[in-house]
Chain A
Amino acid sequence: MSLVEAPAAATVTERDVTSRTPRTTSIVRIACVLALLLTAVAFLYPLIWLVSASLKDRAHVFDNALIPNPVAFANYVEVWQAVPLLAWIVNSALVGLAAAAAATLSSAVVAYGFARFQFRGRDVMFGLVLATMMLPSAVTMVPVYLEWHAVGLATTQIPLWAQNLFGSAFYIFLLRQFFLGLPGEIFDAAKVDGAGHVRTFVRIALPLTVPALVVVFVFELKAAWTDLIKPLIYLRDTDFFTLPRGLKTILDRFGEGGESQWELVLAASTIATAPMILLFLVAQRYFVRGLNTQSNR
Chain B
Amino acid sequence: MLFTAGPMVFSLYLSLTRYDMLKPASYVGMDNYRELISDPKVATALYNTLFFTFLHVPLQIVLALGLASLLRRAGRASGFFRTVLYLPVMTPPVALAAMFLLLLNGQTGAINELLGWFGFTGPNWTTDPVWVKPGLVVMSLWTVGSTAIIYLAALSRVPGELYEAARLDGASPWRQFWHITLPGISGTIYFTVVVNTIASLQTFTEAYAMFFGNSETADSQGDSALFYVIYLFQQAFSSLRMGYASALGWALFVVIAVITVIQVRVSRRLVHYESEPR
A: which residues have CB within 8 A of B?
1-2, 5, 13, 16-18, 20-24, 28-29, 32-33, 35-36, 39-40, 43-47, 49-50, 53, 62-64, 125, 128-129, 132, 134-147, 149, 163, 166, 222, 225-229, 232-233, 243-244, 247-248, 251-252, 255-257, 262, 265-266, 269-270, 272-273, 276-277, 279-281, 284, 287-288, 291-292, 294-295, 297
Contact = CB atoms under 8 A, between A and B. Distances in A.
A140 B88 CA distance: 29
Contacts of B154: 295
A106 B21 CA distance: 32
B83 to A, nearest CB: 6
A62 B90 contact: no
Contacts of B195: 294
Interface string B17-34: 000010000000000000
Contacts, number: 262
Listed residue (A23, A228, A284) with the most chain B CB atoms within 10 angstroms of its CB? A228
Interface string B66-96: 0100111111111101111111101111110
A129 to B, nearest CB: 6
Interface stretch (B36-44, B117-125, B144-152, B265-273): B144-152
Contacts of A2: 153
B233 interface: yes
Contacts of B101: 251, 255
A247 B202 CA distance: 22
A146 B8 CA distance: 12
30 contacts: A1-B156, A20-B160, A22-B160, A33-B77, A36-B67, A39-B85, A47-B91, A136-B201, A136-B249, A138-B229, A139-B8, A142-B11, A143-B246, A146-B10, A146-B14, A226-B92, A226-B94, A229-B208, A233-B233, A247-B94, A248-B213, A251-B209, A251-B214, A269-B99, A276-B90, A276-B92, A277-B91, A281-B83, A291-B153, A295-B150
Contacts of B51: none
Nearest to A226: B92
A256 B217 contact: yes
B98 A140 contact: no
Contacts of A228: 92-94, 204-205, 208-209
A140 B76 contact: no
Contact of A252 (B71, B213, B256): B213
Contacts of A63: 108
A201 B102 CA distance: 51
Given A44-B87, A243-B92, A277-B87, 6 more contacts: A28-B73, A247-B92, A247-B94, A257-B216, A269-B94, A280-B90
Interface residues of B, number: 93
B252 interface: yes
Given A141-B249, A244-B93, A247-B98, A46 B103 contact: yes
Interface of B: 1-4, 6-8, 10-11, 14, 21, 67, 70-79, 81-88, 90-95, 97-103, 105, 108, 110, 113, 142, 145-146, 149-154, 156-157, 160, 163, 167, 188, 191-192, 195, 198, 201-202, 204-205, 208-209, 213-214, 216-217, 228-229, 232-233, 236-237, 242, 245-246, 248-250, 252-253, 256, 260, 277
B7 A17 contact: no
Contacts of A125: 1
Contacts of A18: 75-76, 78-79
A86 B204 CA distance: 27
A203 to B, nearest CB: 28
A292 B82 CA distance: 13
Nearest to B214: A252
Sorted from nearest, which 3 A-B pairs have the closest CB atoms? Answer: A269-B95, A226-B92, A62-B108
B92 A291 contact: no
A139 B253 contact: yes
A149 B67 CA distance: 46
A163 B3 CA distance: 8
